[in-house]
């Protein structure tokens, strides 16, 4: 049996999720639970830069990375353009470098 991953969510991401509808919160929580169990192929994610990835839930984007057995969710926003803003990717990369 696979060991579940630990999830760390920055305050910014928690605040973003709290402002969403109950149904959106439930979808996000379900996706994160699937990821915790190692079911990455069952959720919609995209690689942004090196270890930095994006969880896509409808119009909502969650920038995260995995280090050892921990998923770090470091940014959340509503996607309104085709490209993910470079400053969000760069900021996530800085957090990643601080952790490794």
Distance CA 1, CA 77 (A): 34
Cα distance between residue 86 and residue 63, in whole Å: 12
In the CATH hierarchy, which fold is given to the domain comprising 6-99? YaeB-like fold (3.30.2310)
Say if pTM beats, i.e. exceeds, 0.85. Answer: yes
Question: pLDDT exceeding 90 applies to what percent of the chain?
Answer: 70
Q: CA angle, 62 as apex, 60 and 66 as ends, to 5°?
A: 155
* Separation between Cα atoms, residue 37 and residue 94, nearest integer Å: 26
Residue ranges covered by each domain of the chain: 6-99
DSSP H/E element including 75 = strand 70-78
63-98: pLDDT as tens digits: 999 999 999 999 999 988 778 888 888 888 888 988
**Residue-wise pLDDT tens digits, 9-25:** 999 999 999 999 999 99
């Amino acid at each position: 049996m696979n060991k579940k991953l630990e999830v760390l969510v920055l305050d910014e991401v928690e605040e973003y999720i709290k402002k969403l509808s109950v149904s959106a919160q439930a979808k996000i929580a379900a996706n994160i639970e699937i990821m915790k169990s190692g079911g990455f192929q069952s959720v919609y994610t995209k690689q942004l830069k090196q270890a930095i990835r994006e969880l896509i839930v409808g119009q909502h984007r969650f920038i995260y990375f995995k280090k050892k057995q921990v998923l770090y969710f470091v940014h959340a926003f509503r996607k309104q353009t085709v490209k993910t803003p470079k400053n969000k990717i760069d900021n996530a990369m800085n957090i990643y470098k601080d952790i490794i």
